[in-house]
Amino acid sequence: MDSGDLRFSIRVVFALCLVCFSVGFDPVDKYYVNCGSSNDVKVGNSIYVADKSASKFLTTPQDILADSNLNSITPSEESLLYRTARIYTGPSKYTFSISQNGRHWIRLYFYPFVYQNYDMRSASFTVFAQKTALVSDFTPKNVTVKEFSVNVMSGDLVIAFSPSSNSFAYINALEVVSVPDSLIVDHASLFNPSGEFNGLVNQALETVARVNMGGPFVSFSNDTLGRTWVSDRSFLLQPNLATNESKISAVKYPQGGPTTDIAPPTVYGTCTMMNSGSDPNSNFNVTWVFSVDPGFQYLIRLHFCDIVSTAANQLVFNVYIDSFLVSPDLELSTKSGGQLATAYYMDFVTTPFDKSKLGLSIGPSPRSAYPGALLNGLEIMKMNNSRGSLAGAAILPTFPGSKKNLGVIVGVSIGVPLALVMIGILFFMHRRRRQERLRHSRTWVPISINGGTTMGSKYSTGTTISVGSNMSYRIPFIAVQEATNNFDESWVIGIGGFGKVYKGILNDGTKVAVKRGNPRSQQGLAEFRTEIEMLSQFRHRHLVSLIGYCDEKNEMILVYEYMENGTLKSHLYGSNLPNLSWKQRLEICIGAARGLHYLHTGDAKAVIHRDVKSANILLDENLMAKVADFGLSKTGPELDQTHVSTAVKGSFGYLDPEYFRRQQLTEKSDVYSFGVVLFEVLCARPVIDPSLPREMVNLAEWAMKWQKKGQLDQIIDPNLVGKIKSDSLRKFGETGEKCLADFGVDRPSMGDVLWNLEYALQLQEATVHNDPEENSTNVIGQLSPQVGDFNHVDASPSVAQFETSSVDDLSGVSMSRVFSQLVKSEGR
């Protein structure tokens, strides 16, 4: 090699390095998360790390890691990300620590699949970034990538997931990456009327379209900022009027102008243009049409690069956004000092858009020597609205975990149904004081009506509900009247201590259950408030949801989701409903146990239901169980000590004897009552039946007698005889027995009960069992140390071991021992 060659090589290497430096934007913050997986995966040059719950990173009430068991979903680079998902049954969040303020990408990857009881195609949820709702009541139907960019001013970026009522949320992968400051500058042009928009820097943006005109799909690995660009063919209104050109190597990035971070050469180097061919009289537009959400403003970025002209000033054309001439007589060469093939872009901001289609056209200008027009790239970004939201629907729950935001206007209504009935009704009240009294903020409730202000509520009697978060649930009396056909007696579906329960139908056809309290008594009022307070704070698949309430005219009305199949009790005895199978009964018990477990281990303070009974376990159209009736609930045992006078409450036959004796209330009282429910489910008879011989009157005593003799099978529901596997029955009986222990300390927690019921279900369904070593009596004992400290979400590594098992919805409790037990008994 002579010195000339060497010099040449050095120059080449030097040039390459320059390219490296100029091309590679190195984001300061970069988080790539492979959700619901215990393994990291590499996609492109990024490693998506497995998310771990209960870290600062991820906070979620349950730990559900879903695996699609598919090797490939779509043959794309990011397929690996879609293999697993994390499911959230309650408000959950990721917290990313941000080291450099400024704009950050947020990319969310969804692929719905069916995992155990969770059909993700029907999931519905809201995602927030800080206080911006990114999507609301969102149901991805297929592989979906959502890209946003938000300006993070300090500290942490919190991305939160809130399931819609009765649903759950999920995500397959997630990324948060710094964006170079130069990408979105503060101002853009306005048209109609023309002017300048300032303040772009503070906008949250959602990418609606990012298109490579006249070129192919550009994958994220070919873009310095990890963006993808799609081909424009499918957006062209009349593809025959357009043609394309490609000259990627000709693209120049001018000094002080756009860089490859604005758009890569594969975008600037291809274009779609007027197909004027050899006709010098061509006079038409090339138009692209995009779907947008009405009601928002859009940032539209047009990328140009004249790769077709052979000399400056050859090409002059017009650009229209939705029929407005935004750039008349555009002559690209004048933008770059006479140079051709030079990257150039323009930003426009629309006025709030009232249509769902946005058109963009290019067409000839009479000033052009020859008719022609071109476009190289296009980006359409939705801007947050004045409420700071990017979500289109009217349903905007508050940002979970944000105290400040409670009571602030965040949306229009709880939902279209209520919007319809609530329209026109505004409440103006003060709110500041009440907010401070909020004890928890894990609600996602407050909603205002039709843009009105939401705030505290005052009873007509002068009593104030001290929960700021529930106010938005208010429903006008007239709407309730309409829904129940003016409290038609023939629409009564139940009568309880509190009053009558009516079936109701809201304007839009939604079925509801309307509970109307007896004329206001002090006790009724207290229960009414407790119920609203509880239900507006706790949302769970297995707790019945409150849709609203009405306290006008001294009324105490609660409106719930309608539970098609009524009470568990009605399916056990005293009606002509078809018998439930053992599996159905176990699943119902498991669902109810989950609801109670959630209450007992809630985020802030444990809640004791105090009236657990089969009449308070409701079944939806799929026989899914939901716990109802929170009127007697209490938060935390300590609360009771300050209210010592409280009379013993609850229902006979279910009452914890220890509570009765000592008047000391703990979660274990619910466990006792639940134990009675278990035997009720097994024996299908009332818990107190005075018509029976004395020793049989009380179900709990009667069942315990047979359980202790080991002959529980003698008293089970005749319809179940021969249908329960003996192991399953044994496990179930032992679980019930433990629940009915005389002293609370000897009873298992709801978490333990849940796992043992799951186990009983597994034993029922397992084909091979009868492990001689398996002595299930000590399952509860073995589990207690682990499950006992399960208050929030357990971060122990055993969760990961467990996720592959077939046990339904493990919900975050570490139970590797039960798992090994299952493996053992099933594996023989």
Ligand X SMILES: *[C@@H]1O[C@H](CO)[C@@H](O)[C@H](O)[C@H]1NC(C)=O
Contact 356, 293 (CB under 8 A): yes
Quick note: the x/- pattern for ligand X over 289-308, rule CB under 6 A, is: --------x-----------
Q: Which of residues 55-84 bind ligand X (CB under 6 A)?
A: 74
Which of residues 211 and 572 has its CB atom nearest to ligand X in the complex?
A: 211
Single-letter amino acid code for the residue at 308: V
Stretch near ligand X under the rule CB under 6 A, chosen from 187-195, 216-224, 483-491, 753-761: 216-224
Quick note: the x/- pattern for ligand X over 240-259, rule CB under 6 A, is: ---xx---------------
Among positions 3, 386, 486, 691, the unique one binding ligand X when judged by CB under 6 A: 386
405 lies in the site for ligand X, by CB under 6 A? no
Q: How far is the CB of 828 from ligand X (least distance, A)?
A: 41
CA distances from residue 750 to 115, 310, 606, 828 in whole angstroms, order as listed: 24, 78, 12, 30
214 lies in the site for ligand X, by CB under 6 A? yes
Sort strands 625-627 and 607-608 into parallel, antiparallel or unpaired.
unpaired
Stretch near ligand X under the rule CB under 6 A, chosen from 213-221, 412-420, 437-445, 461-469: 213-221
Q: Which of residues 590-619 bind ligand X (CB under 6 A)?
A: none
Single-letter amino acid code for the residue at 793: V
Q: How far is the CB of 320 from ligand X (least distance, A)?
A: 4
For residues 101 and 121, give the distance between their C-alpha atoms in angstroms, rounded to a whole number.
Answer: 36
The answer for residues whose C-beta is within 8 angstroms of residue 635's C-beta and 6 or more apart is 439, 604, 605, 606, 607, 608
Q: How far is the CB of 217 from ligand X (least distance, A)?
A: 7
The answer for residues whose C-beta is within 8 angstroms of residue 508's C-beta and 6 or more apart is 416, 417, 420
Which of residues 16 and 311 has its CB atom nearest to ligand X in the complex?
A: 16
Task: Kindly report whether the peptide bond that precedes residue 193 is cis, defined as omega within 30 degrees of 0.
Answer: yes
Q: How far is the CB of 370 from ligand X (least distance, A)?
A: 15
Stretch near ligand X under the rule CB under 6 A, chosen from 167-175, 385-393, 427-435, 673-681: 385-393
For residue 450, what are its two tokens?
Answer: 């039709």
Among positions 211, 225, 273, 383, the unique one binding ligand X when judged by CB under 6 A: 383
Q: How far is the CB of 628 from ligand X (least distance, A)?
A: 36
Q: How far is the CB of 533 from ligand X (least distance, A)?
A: 30
DSSP for 29-69?
Answer: SEEEEETT-SS-EEETTEEEEEP-BTSSSEE-SS-EEEE--
Q: How far is the CB of 196 from ligand X (least distance, A)?
A: 14
Which of residues 230 and 697 has its CB atom nearest to ligand X in the complex?
A: 230
Stretch near ligand X under the rule CB under 6 A, chosen from 12-20, 379-387, 440-448, 678-686: 379-387
Beta bridge partners of 288: 236, 360
Tokens 């043992």 belong to 756
The answer for residues whose C-beta is within 8 angstroms of residue 186's C-beta and 6 or more apart is 198, 199, 200, 201
Which of residues 60 and 361 has its CB atom nearest to ligand X in the complex?
A: 361
For residue 475, what are its two tokens?
Answer: 């429903």
Q: How far is the CB of 431 from ligand X (least distance, A)?
A: 20
- For residues 445, 450, 453 and 454, what is the CA-based torsion angle, rounded to 10 degrees? -20
Of the residues 29, 611, 640, 656, only one is catalytic, namely 611
Q: Is 131 annotated as a binding residue?
A: no
Longest CA span, the chain: 112
Stretch near ligand X under the rule CB under 6 A, chosen from 35-43, 380-388, 701-709, 763-771: 380-388
215 lies in the site for ligand X, by CB under 6 A? yes
For residues 450 and 477, give the distance between their C-alpha atoms in angstroms, rounded to a whole number.
Answer: 17
Q: How far is the CB of 190 from ligand X (least distance, A)?
A: 12
As to burial, measured by CB atoms within 10 angstroms (0-12 exposed, 13-18 middle, 19+ buried), residue 31 is buried
For residues 514 and 533, give the distance between their C-alpha atoms in angstroms, rounded to a whole number.
Answer: 17
**Residue 200 half-sphere exposure toward CB, CA atoms < 13 A:** 24
**Residue 698 half-sphere exposure toward CB, CA atoms < 13 A:** 13
Three-state secondary structure string covering 86-150: EEECCCEEEEEECCCCEEEEEEEEECCCEECCEEHHHCCEEEEECCEEEEEEECCCCCEEEEEEE
Which of residues 142 and 575 has its CB atom nearest to ligand X in the complex?
A: 142
Contact 656, 668 (CB under 8 A): yes
Q: How far is the CB of 433 from ligand X (least distance, A)?
A: 26
198 lies in the site for ligand X, by CB under 6 A? no
Contact 795, 54 (CB under 8 A): yes
SS3 328: strand
Stretch near ligand X under the rule CB under 6 A, chosen from 94-102, 210-218, 419-427, 460-468: 210-218
Which of residues 295 and 781 has its CB atom nearest to ligand X in the complex?
A: 295
Which of residues 39 and 291 has its CB atom nearest to ligand X in the complex?
A: 291
Among positions 142, 182, 641, 770, the unique one binding ligand X when judged by CB under 6 A: 142
Which of residues 230 and 795 has its CB atom nearest to ligand X in the complex?
A: 230
Among positions 41, 173, 218, 615, the unique one binding ligand X when judged by CB under 6 A: 218
202 lies in the site for ligand X, by CB under 6 A? yes
228 lies in the site for ligand X, by CB under 6 A? no
Which of residues 276 and 336 has its CB atom nearest to ligand X in the complex?
A: 276
Contact 229, 147 (CB under 8 A): no
726 lies in the site for ligand X, by CB under 6 A? no
SS3 691: coil
358 lies in the site for ligand X, by CB under 6 A? no
231 lies in the site for ligand X, by CB under 6 A? yes
Which of residues 297 and 749 has its CB atom nearest to ligand X in the complex?
A: 297
**What number of chain residues touch ligand X (CB under 6 A)?**
29
285 lies in the site for ligand X, by CB under 6 A? yes
For residue 680, what are its two tokens?
Answer: 């009720």
Asked if 611 is an active-site residue, the reply is: yes
222 lies in the site for ligand X, by CB under 6 A? yes
* DSSP type of residue 696: G
Contact 596, 497 (CB under 8 A): no
What distance lies between CA 389 and its chain's CA centroid? 16
Three-state secondary structure string covering 744-781: HHHCCCHHHHHHHHHHHHHHHHCCCCCCCCCCHHHHHH
Among positions 165, 259, 266, 405, the unique one binding ligand X when judged by CB under 6 A: 266
Binding residues vs ligand X (CB under 6 A): 74, 142-143, 202-203, 214-216, 218, 221-222, 231, 233, 243-244, 266, 283-285, 297, 320, 323, 361, 363, 383-386, 388
Task: Indicate the annotated binding residues for ATP.
Answer: 515
Which amino acids are annotated catalytic? 611
Task: Indicate the annotated binding residues.
Answer: 515
